[in-house]
């Protein structure tokens, strides 16, 4: 079910009105899903049906992305402000410390919510913030190039390219290892989402100084990385494990930066395992627990 929620968020800059678009499906313990920069909540569509069997899944559009409007004027799209908005969003929905999973920017936000002890567990897929300065500059340059291309391409050309596997590869191979698997409709929608993301530039600026350097104690943490991630290279996962020593580090064979489309069954299993207790995760025999 898709919905829009308007509420007042107690941000570090004072209480402000915020509107967030989201979809909710399934039953069980709540699981909040956070997408990456320039994307939208539909990035999670390949795994929603699997997750919904065991979880009450809430996939939202971050402020200024997808169908969610940008934050009010004067509010930065930085970690403290965005995590305050997410915390207020959960409170409005009556979600008491949900599990949270995020990809890229969403993974960084998920870890920050975990560090603040606002969630039950964290699963971060190729999370931002574990880069060197050179790696950050490379990733931000690629993202800026993708954004510029999406804004330049006329819609009829995007639609024509999306009809072939080669065209879908040209449009999305930076983030998917298997872009031919993405549906034409999804490729068109996410290209438009990137082109029209109101908060893209502000979010990218806010990320220039971001480094995740604190442990996330007291809750289960899973960090998963695609072996074919071309945007945030997999060795950053080793740094994440160093920063968060108790985290389970998972290898996603054959997956790119946004792995949900590349291997939905594997990613769904990683997310479900990550939102279980430490004992049950340790006992799991899933192939998803192969170390990076």
Closest CA to 85 of 15, 23, 30, 31: 15
pLDDT (tens place) for every residue of the chain, 292 residues total: 789 999 999 999 999 999 999 999 999 999 999 999 999 999 999 999 999 999 999 999 999 999 999 999 989 999 999 999 999 999 999 999 999 999 999 999 999 999 999 999 999 999 999 999 999 999 999 999 999 999 999 999 999 999 999 999 999 999 999 998 999 999 999 999 999 999 999 999 999 989 999 999 999 999 999 999 999 999 999 999 999 999 999 999 999 999 999 999 999 999 999 998 653 344 333 333 444 4
Question: Is residue 97 domain-resident?
Answer: yes
Task: Name, in order, each residue with C-beta under 8 angstroms of 183's C-beta and a sequence gap of 6 or more.
Answer: none
Q: Are 31 and 272 in contact (CB under 8 A)?
A: no
Question: Is residue 192 domain-resident?
Answer: no
Question: Is residue 162 domain-resident?
Answer: no
How many domains does the structure of the chain reveal?
1
CB atoms within 10 A of CB 105: 27
Tokens of 149: 């291309």
Closest CA to 165 of 149, 187, 144, 150: 187
Question: Is residue 118 domain-resident?
Answer: yes
Q: What is the largest CA-CA distance in the chain?
A: 52
Tokens of 94: 């009556």
Beta bridge partners of residue 250, listed in sequence order: 224
Q: Are 34 and 101 in contact (CB under 8 A)?
A: yes
Tell me which residue range forms the domain holding 238: 2-131+212-289
Q: DSSP character for 62? A: P
Question: Is residue 126 domain-resident?
Answer: yes
Residue 265, burial from CB neighbour count under 10 angstroms (0-12, 13-18, 19+): exposed
Backbone phi and psi for residue 142, each to the nearest 5 degrees, phi listed first: -65, -45
- Per-residue confidence (pLDDT) for residue 1, from 0 to 100: 74
Query: The tokens 């054959």 sit on which residue?
Result: 254
Cα 37-275-19 angle, rounded to 5 deg: 40
What is the C-alpha separation between 288 and 114, in angstroms, rounded?
A: 22
Within 13 Å of residue 172, how many CA atoms lie on the same side as its CB? Answer: 37
Question: Is residue 121 domain-resident?
Answer: yes
Question: Is residue 203 domain-resident?
Answer: no
CATH number at residue 56: 3.40.50.1820
Q: Report the relative pairing of strands 55-60 and 14-26 from DSSP bridges.
A: antiparallel
CB atoms within 10 A of CB 137: 12
Question: Is residue 152 domain-resident?
Answer: no
Q: What is the DSSP string of 194-237?
A: HHT-TTHHHHHHHGGG----S--TTS-EEEEEETT-SSS-THHH
What is the C-alpha separation between 199 and 20, in angstroms, rounded?
A: 13
Tally: H helices and E strands in the chain: 11, 8
Q: Are 108 and 124 in contact (CB under 8 A)?
A: yes
Backbone phi and psi for residue 49, each to the nearest 5 degrees, phi listed first: -60, -40
Closest CA to 36 of 207, 289, 168: 207
């Amino acid at each position: 079910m898709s919905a829009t929620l308007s509420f007042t968020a107690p941000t570090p800059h004072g209480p402000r009105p915020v509107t967030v678009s989201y979809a909710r499906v399934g039953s069980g313990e709540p699981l909040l899903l956070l997408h990456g920069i320039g994307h939208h909540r539909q990035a999670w569509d390949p795994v929603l049906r699997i997750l919904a069997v065991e979880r009450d899944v809430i996939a939202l559009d971050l402020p200024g992305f997808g169908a969610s409007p940008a934050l009010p004027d004067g509010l930065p799209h930085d970690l403290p402000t965005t995590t305050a908005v997410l915390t207020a969003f959960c409170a409005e929905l009556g979600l008491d410390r949900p599990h949270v999973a995020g990809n890229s920017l969403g993974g960084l936000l998920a870890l920050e919510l975990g560090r603040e002890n606002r969630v039950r567990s964290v699963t971060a897929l190729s999370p931002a913030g574990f880069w060197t300065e050179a790696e950050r500059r490379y990733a931000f340059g690629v993202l800026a190039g993708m954004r510029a291309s999406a804004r330049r391409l006329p819609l009829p050309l995007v639609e024509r390219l999306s009809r072939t596997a080669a065209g879908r590869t040209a449009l999305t191979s930076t983030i998917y290892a298997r872009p031919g698997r993405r549906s034409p409709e999804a490729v068109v929608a996410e290209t438009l989402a990137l082109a029209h993301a109101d908060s893209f530039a502000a979010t990218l600026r806010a990320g220039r100084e971001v480094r995740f350097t604190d442990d996330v104690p007291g809750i289960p943490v899973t960090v998963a990385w695609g072996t074919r991630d071309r945007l945030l290279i997999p060795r950053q996962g080793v740094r994440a494990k160093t920063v968060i020593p108790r985290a389970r580090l998972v290898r996603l064979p054959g997956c790119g930066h946004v792995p949900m489309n590349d291997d939905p069954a594997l990613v769904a299993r990683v997310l479900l395992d990550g939102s279980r207790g430490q004992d049950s995760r340790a006992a799991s025999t899933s192939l998803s627990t192969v170390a990076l």
